[in-house]
A and B are shown apart, each in its own frame.
Chain A
Amino acid sequence: MASADEFDFEDEGKESIRGRIQVEEEDTEEELIYDEGVRTELLAGQKKSSSFWTFSYYQTFFDVDTWQVLNRIKGSMIPLPKRNFVRHYIRNKPDLYGPFWICATLVFAISISGNLSNFLVHRGESGFRYTPEFQKVSIAATAVYAYAWLVPLVLWGCLVWWHGHAGAPAPYSFLELVCTYGYCLSSFIPAALLWLIPIEPMRWVLLVLACLLSGGVLAVALWPVLRRYGQHHAAVALVFLLLLHIGLGLGCKLYFFDAPQAVPETSQTTHANNATVQQSQ
């Protein structure tokens, strides 16, 4: 029905038609994002058919299948330069299931793993009584949920403000940002479970690995959008966001997981105490 010219990719003028076709490699990333941004706005307008206060509005964000969620988790753990998480995996269908339950899992993984590892580390000490440290669950929940939902909110606000000057909608919607951040936290879950083993060097290696993987996916997803405000500003913003990400991992590791003390010192002190007690008797 259409002539061959309409779908000619080399024609610079027909940007709007190019945008309708999901091209991964041929198009430059920037044009793809601009066209996709227009499409996102159109689709977002179509999606908001039910009111914000009705139940069916939120049901649209849980419209995912098991394989989709697993696919997105896999994509959030493997940073590849060509695979923008938002474009390749979310594809204008952000969901809230992933961010919410990954955050919940991370909260309990950190609290439970931290409690167990502290028990293993402090077990032999005199005067140690085991407690479940239940108050740490609320601290972990506040930290994780605040990071996963407030940082995307602030970032989205900044993007809207910057784009508002140009008169275009923000390239990523708020839910896409929440989705990206939520799924990126999934790299910390295996790290939190393996931090149970009280070997300090291994814990640092795990932290670095988790930060690299999740930070990489975040960087690949956010760089094309930030790049448009000038290389300098974009680099500063991206470094700041990555520092926040690393800060979360570091904070969790340092606060919830006590470092294993030097064991020989403790046993020597105990033996010395026992020797003095026996001598005095």
Chain B
Amino acid sequence: MAANEFSAEFTDVSVHENVPVEGNIRISVPLAGEDEDMSTLDEPVKETFMRDLKAVGKKFVHVLYPKNNDELLRDWDLWGPLILCVFLAMMLQGKNADSASHGIPQFAEVFVTVWFGAIVVTFNSHLLGGTISFFQSLCVLGYCVMPLSVALLLCHVTLLGKGSLPLAMFIVRFICVALAFAWATFASTTFLGSSQPPNRKALAVYPIFLFYFVISWMIITNVT
């Protein structure tokens, strides 16, 4: 009888009227929320601005204390990475017109290196079978540049001494950048680690390591 059922045409199948149907429909977004979203058009600009700023600030705090929570991934945004990248490029660029001949990276070089590097690393983890989306990964990589930006600020502070105690200042800079590099790599692997297949985790982590290493190198060689 089973064979007959399976070989029957679809037109021969009839559904009885009194088959009980059970199910569970859950609405994840409360309907009232939609009305609230619509009304943000009328709120003052300062409120919109502060809301986005608070979201960005909260993510910075998450990077400072990296714990495996989903908020960085769920509410991704690219404002933080943009702010950090522009800050990095502005601080690292050569100051005068002929600095390009001296080998100091220009604004565009730093900007492209950071964004292109982040995109390539994201593509890599995606191709290896990562489960998070392209922009979520880009968001995490961008936000985790924050410790390196802090290290860049500290390096600039030590360079304000203008040549006094060069070796000691270099050691201080080196330790700051090394710590920031370790922190950035640790933070990004905390957020991205669980999304990779377990037997390919090292393959996904290595490009992230290389990416932050190159940025750290650019920071530590910035002696102007």
Contacts and interface: CB of A to CB of B under 8 A. Distances in A.
Given A59-B129, A97-B124, A104-B210, A131 B203 contact: no
B127 A59 contact: yes
A136 B103 contact: yes
Nearest to B205: A66
A132 B103 contact: yes
A130 interface: yes
A171 B106 CA distance: 46
Contact of A131 (B103, B126, B128): B103
Nearest to B99: A131
B201 interface: yes
A212 interface: no
Contacts, number: 62
Contacts of B200: 64-66
A131 B95 CA distance: 13
Contacts of A59: 127, 129
Interface string B94-133: 0000001011110001000000000000001011110000
Contacts of B103: 131-136
Given A58-B127, A129-B102, A65 B109 contact: no
A92 interface: no
Contact of B104 (A67, A69, A104, A131): A131
Where chain B touches its partner, the secondary structure class is helix
A273 interface: no
A115 B207 CA distance: 22
A129 B223 CA distance: 10
A136 to B, nearest CB: 7
B16 to A, nearest CB: 41
B218 interface: yes
B105 A66 contact: no
Contacts of A222: none
Given A69-B203, A97-B124, A132 B214 contact: no
A97 B203 contact: yes
B135 interface: no
A132 B222 CA distance: 8
A105 interface: yes
B127 A134 contact: no
A62 B221 contact: no
Contacts of B199: 65-67
A97 B128 contact: yes
A186 to B, nearest CB: 13
A223 interface: no
Contact of B109 (A55, A58, A104, A134): A134
Nearest to A98: B203
A62 B100 CA distance: 38
B104 A134 contact: yes
Given A104-B207, A105-B210, A130-B221, 18 more contacts: A55-B127, A61-B127, A62-B128, A64-B200, A65-B203, A66-B200, A66-B202, A67-B199, A69-B203, A97-B124, A101-B124, A101-B210, A112-B217, A131-B103, A131-B104, A132-B105, A134-B103, A136-B103
3 nearest A-B pairs in the assembled complex, by CB-CB distance: A131-B103, A133-B103, A132-B221
Interface of B: 100, 102-105, 109, 124, 126-129, 199-203, 206-207, 210, 213-214, 217-218, 221-223
26 contacts: A55-B127, A58-B127, A59-B127, A62-B127, A64-B203, A65-B203, A66-B202, A66-B203, A67-B199, A97-B128, A100-B124, A101-B124, A101-B206, A101-B207, A112-B217, A129-B102, A130-B223, A131-B103, A132-B104, A132-B218, A132-B221, A134-B103, A134-B105, A135-B100, A135-B103, A136-B103
